[in-house]
Amino acid sequence: MARTISLPTARVTLKGAKALRRGHPWLYRTELMEAPETQEHGAVVSVVDPQGNPIGQAFYAQRSPLAIRLLTRKGPAEEKVDEAFLRHRLELSLARRGALKHRDGLRLVHGESDLLPGLFVDRYGAGLTLQTLSEGMDARKEWVARTLAELTGATHVVCRDDASGRDFESLPREVKLLHGQGEARFSYHEGDNLFEVDLLGDMKTGAFLDQVDNHVRAGELARGEGLDLFSYHGGFALALSRQCDSVLAVEQDAKAAERIRANAARNGCTHVTVDNANAFDVLRRFADTGRRFDTVVVDPPGLAKRREGVATALRAYHELNLRALKCLRPEGLLVTCSCSGKVSREAFEEMVLSAAADAKRPVQILERRGAGLDHPVLGGLLESEYLKVFFVRAL
């Protein structure tokens, strides 16, 4: 006999129903015909189409523009969304990283791509950072932290809910320790290089783990004199130093620039120097003085947070890549990146080719890359393929 379970019900438009059934994981509030009758923070609700036909179960947000985040296509009589359900999803996400078990720095949960909407978890040695960018996960983050500590053996779980995405969700920003005591400083490796992170004090979740594979690959292809722009903690710079005769790392944030120096010293990279400066200004100065390099990396922060900012972002990317190409010697390598999810891969490649044309440099596109295996892309969700990395040889 089928179970009878009553949940608040969200009725969505025909357009919204079609999107969810095609595999899209969320709906904006504009696609709601009838909001569910609940005041619970991050409530689980049933989702139905205009005729009342079931679609599945979802987290419902009281205030976010993203009102519906689908959890399962099964109804409450078939599958109960509770702690056991979420624990199983966490276990599956960890199991998917089995091929990367040799790494001590990686993403363990990648939000919608791992069918855990709005939850992102990174591992640095024995420490974890947790971000919740949905009301449903925000309401459960204390439980998630305890469960992750049990499943992974982590000594610390840090909440890094201080990203701008929280503003969009109408959620408060905060940083706090959810599990463990004392400082949250840990070490992890990128290839042969050892890095230190402060999970309570550094930017983002501590480091940019989505770039680890690209750091290593750049180190394999680099040569001569290297320039790493927007270096942060020196991920690209230290990788380049394995092949380059010298590397200049440019980082505007003084604290991050000091961390590059410490990481370089820790790894014996005596030929890495650090310029605490603005990358745009540095490139202009090099253009004026004729300074040239054999390998240049351009890895700026996200320049387009919203769709309306894409045109402005592409102009900034164009200026950076134009100047970087002018700083390259013949046969030089350009590694250029965009982590702006609103900028498509096609638009970014078109920008790179336009910058090359304006620089009057023929180029070869050697590799088109993205984030690593621990940052999977969910089919049908373009936003999950946010990182674009092009390896380009300037002839």
Rounding to the nearest 10 degrees, give the CA dihedral for residues 142, 148, 149, 154.
Answer: -130
Give dist(CA 191, CA 230) in Å, integer: 20
Q: How far is CA 329 from the centre of its chain?
A: 32
371 close to 315: Cβ distance less than 8 angstroms = no
Give dist(CA 109, CA 352) in Å, integer: 31
> Tokens in use for 130?
């947790």
Catalytic site includes residue 327: no
Q: Which residue has the tokens 């190409």?
A: 325
- Amino acid at residue number 201: G
- Amino acid at residue number 301: P
Give dist(CA 107, CA 137) in Å, integer: 17
Catalytic residue among 244, 327, 337, 339: 339
> Tokens in use for 332?
């030089």
Query: How many other C-beta atoms are found inside a 10 Å radius of the C-beta of residue 216?
Result: 18
Instruction: Give catalytic residues, as residue numbers.
Output: 339
